[in-house]
Amino acid sequence: MTTKYIQNTPLGLKFKVLDVVRSLIASIGRLFFTLFYGTESAKIPTIPDKDAILKEPAVVVARKIRRKEITSVEVLEACIRRIKDVNSALNCFVEDRFELALKEAQEADSLVRSGIMSEQQLEKEKPFLGVPFTTKDCIAVKGLHHTAGVVLRKDVIAEKDAEAVRLLRESGAIILGLTNIPELCMWWETHNHIFGRTKNPYNTTRIVGGSSGGEGCLQAVGGSVFGVGSDIGGSIRMPAFFNGIFGHKPSRHTVSNEGQYPVPESELTDSFLGVGPMTRHAVDLKPLLNVMAGESRSKLKLDEPVDLKKLKVFYQFSNNAPLVDPVDPEITEAMKKVIKFLNEQHNLEAEEKNIERLQKSVPIWFTTMKSGNNFERLIMKKRGIGAILFEMLKNLIGCSGNTFIGLFTALTDYTGVQYGSEKYKHYLRVREDLEETFTKMLGENGVFLYPTHPTPAPYHNEPVLRAFNFSYTSIINCVGLPATAVPLGLSREGLPIGIQVVANHNNDRLCLAVAEELGRAFGGWIEPQKS
C-alpha cells in the first residue's frame, strides 16, 4: 500500500488521532518537566591539564605507552581521579576493580621497559597495551557483579569475561570497572533499583540514553580511554548521540554476544544484538572493532582502504512513523550540512530516499523481538498479569525492586502480536523485504545517512511520553546492518546532536570511514563545560 492509501484507511485515521493525542500529552509533559527541573544543572568539572592524556584517542594513548612517553599507571591513575571527580554528580560508574587494574598497569609498564617485545611487536600483538577501558554492567567481567540492573541478580558475580572483553584484555587493554544501565537493558533511560539514575553531563536534568547510558556518559567526561557497549535497539547509538560521542553497532554476527545478559533466546534476537565500541574519537572505532571481532574480522575487511569519492550516499530526514516525534529542525539542519560538505569536499551527490516501510519500524521491532519467552520471568519471582499489576502498585509507593518501565515492558508480553501467529509471520516478511530494500540500495559502496534520534536528550522520565522515538535506531538492528553514531556539535540548549551512518552487511569500514571524515570536519566530541 502507498502511504497515502494507508493514511486514508480507518486504521490510518485512528493512528492520526492517536498521534495528535500523544503529541498533545508530550507537549504538556515537556512544559511540566521544564517547570519541575528548571534551568539548574550540576556543574561538571572539566578535565584538568595534568590529566590531558584523557582527551587523546585510545590509539595515541597506546602509542605513547609503547614509546615510554607515559606509563600505563599514570593513565590509569588519571582515569581513577576523573571517575572520582564526576561520579557523585553523574552516577555513571557502578563498580571498580581499581586495585587489580593498577597491578595490571604495572605489569604492562614492566613489559614495555623490559624490551622483550619491540615497539613494532607490541603494536601488532598487543595494540592496546596498558590502555584502561570500561564496559556496561550487562557485559560480564570476571569477578565483578553481573546484574543487568535487575534486583534479583544483585548478588550475581561473573565467573569469566565476556568474549569481547577477553579479546580486548588479550590485546593489552585493562578493564577498570562497570557502568550503569536500565533494568535488563530494555529502556532508553538509564535507571534501575540497584544503582539508581544516571545524569547527562551536558545538563544533569536530562537523560543519558540506554541501555549503554552509563558508558556513554563516562566516555563523554573522559572517565576511561574507551568503552564497550551493546545494542539491540539503539543501546550504543542513542547514548552516543545523547552524550556527544561516537558509537558503532557492528554488522550482525561479527562481534560475539557471549557473556551478554540477558542472553538472546532465538537466532533472530541474537542477530539484532551487537557488542561494539564507544569512543570520544572516531579514529579509535576501527582498531577496536578489529580486536573485538576476533575470528570474524576477516569478513569485515577493515584494512581495505575506503575511497570516499567513490561512495554512493543516500539519506532520509524522517521515518514518518506514527506515535514518533518529528525530527528536531536542528538535527535536520545538521544533516543538511553533512550532505553539503560531502558534495563540496568529495563531489558526492547524495540521493534523498523515502523508504515507506520505515514507517513500520516500531511494530517490526516489537513483533520480531518476541521469542516466546516472557520478559517477566527475568525480573520477577512471580508470574502473570496480576503479579505484574500488583508490583506496579508497589512501585508507585516505592516498595518494588522493579522499575515501572520494566514492569510495563513485562506487561506488553501479554499484548500485541503473539509469537508464531500469522501477524507475527507477516512482520517477519515485512522485515525481510525492508532488509532487501537496504541491501539493493546500498550495494558494496553505499552509505545511508539517517537521524539517530528525533530529539536531543529529553528530561528524566520524559521518554515515557515519547516511548517510540527509539525507532530510528531499532530498525537498523532488525535488518542487521552496521551503523555508526556521529556527533555533530551542540544544540542551542547545549545538548549534543548528530546522525547515524549505515552501510550494507559487513561493510562497517564504510561507516567508520565516513565517521572519521565527519569527525574531522565537524569537530567530533566536545567536552562538557562547567558553565
Active site residues: 136, 211, 235
Classify 141 in phi/psi space as left (phi over 0), alpha (psi -120 to 50) or beta: beta
To the nearest 10 degrees (0 to 180), the angle between helices 508-522 and 285-292 is 150
Q: Which residue has the cell 607490541?
A: 122
| Concatenated DSSP letters of 80-104 | HHHHHHHHHHH--EEEE-HHHHHHH
**367-376: burial string, b at 16+ Cβ within 10 Å, e else:** bbbbeeebbb
SS3 breakdown of the chain: % helix, strand, coil, rounded to 5? 50, 15, 40
Amino acid at 247: G
Contacts of 449 (CB under 8 A, 6+ apart): 313, 314, 315, 316, 335, 338, 339, 350, 499, 500, 501, 502
- Rounded-to-integer distance, Cα 292 and Cα 36, Å: 43
> Shortest CA distance to 351 belongs to which of 314, 384, 303?
314
φ, ψ at 506 (rounded to 5°): 65, 10
Say if residue 211 is preceded by a cis peptide, omega within 30 of 0: yes
| Concatenated DSSP letters of 45-91 | PPPPGGGGGGGS-HHHHHHHHHTTSS-HHHHHHHHHHHHHHHHHHH-
Is 441 exposed, middle or buried (CB count within 10 Å of its CB: 0-12, 13-18, 19+)? middle
- Rounded-to-integer distance, Cα 161 and Cα 216, Å: 21
Three cell numbers, residue 262 = 540477558
To the nearest 10 degrees (0 to 180), the angle between helices 72-90 and 58-66 is 150
Structure letter (DSSP) for residue 373: S
Sign of CA dihedral 278, 281, 285, 288: negative
Residues 452, 485 contacting (CB under 8 angstroms): yes
Enumerate the β-bridge partners of residue 226.
133
Q: Which residue has the cell 569500514?
A: 509
Residues 318, 354 contacting (CB under 8 angstroms): no
